[in-house]
Amino acid sequence: MNAAIEIGAFEVTISGHPTVEQWGEAFTQALQLGATATWARTDLLGWAEDEQPFGDEYAQFLSAERVSYGTIKNDRRRYNRFPPGHDLRRLAPDLSPSHFDAAAPLDDIDAEQVLLDAAQNKLGREYVRNRVREILNTPAPVVAELSI
């Protein structure tokens, strides 16, 4: 079977056993895709870490593209919560991955309601964060001025 990596609007589909070079080419291409880039990067990193077909060889592409540890950590968290094929990705395609990050603490039912509301009303991720706080009954962070 030939290996293939297909970058779609909501997820990356990987079939067969791509080489590290094919993965790296897809990763580099994904970073140039604008809004789709974050989901593509998330899926490619998650797949490489879960399947481990190349060991740590894929890290060379992370270094070459200057992907930070924080980005990798956030992508991994996003991949675990909203993996490829997760229904919520398709229900709210206009929302940024940061909307999904904000909704991650919620169960799927509450996350769906909040994300769809944000998508339908073109609301920012701050709306999602506030709704998550309300649903989980978590107080908002306190912002205070400090003078020394």
**pLDDT over 70 at 35, yes or no:** no
Cα→Cα distances 99→84, 102, 130, 134, 137, Å: 16, 5, 11, 16, 19
Instruction: Supply the pLDDT for residue 45.
Output: 92
Parallel, antiparallel, or unpaired for β 12-15 and 4-7?
antiparallel
Average pLDDT for residues 13-27, to the nearest whole number? 91
Chain-wide mean pLDDT for the chain?
88
- At residue 38 the predicted structure's pLDDT band, cuts being 50, 70 and 90, is confident
Instruction: Supply the pLDDT for residue 37.
Output: 82
Average pLDDT for residues 115-135, to the nearest whole number? 95
Which residues lie closer than 8 Å to 121 by C-beta, 6 or more apart? none
- pLDDT digits over 84-124, tens only? 888 888 888 888 899 999 999 999 999 999 999 999 999 99
- pLDDT digits over 47-73, tens only? 999 998 988 898 898 888 888 889 899
Instruction: Tell me the C-alpha distance between 144 and 55, whole Å.
Output: 46
Of residues 143 and 71, which shows the higher confidence score? 71
Instruction: Tell me the C-alpha distance between 133 and 127, whole Å.
Output: 10
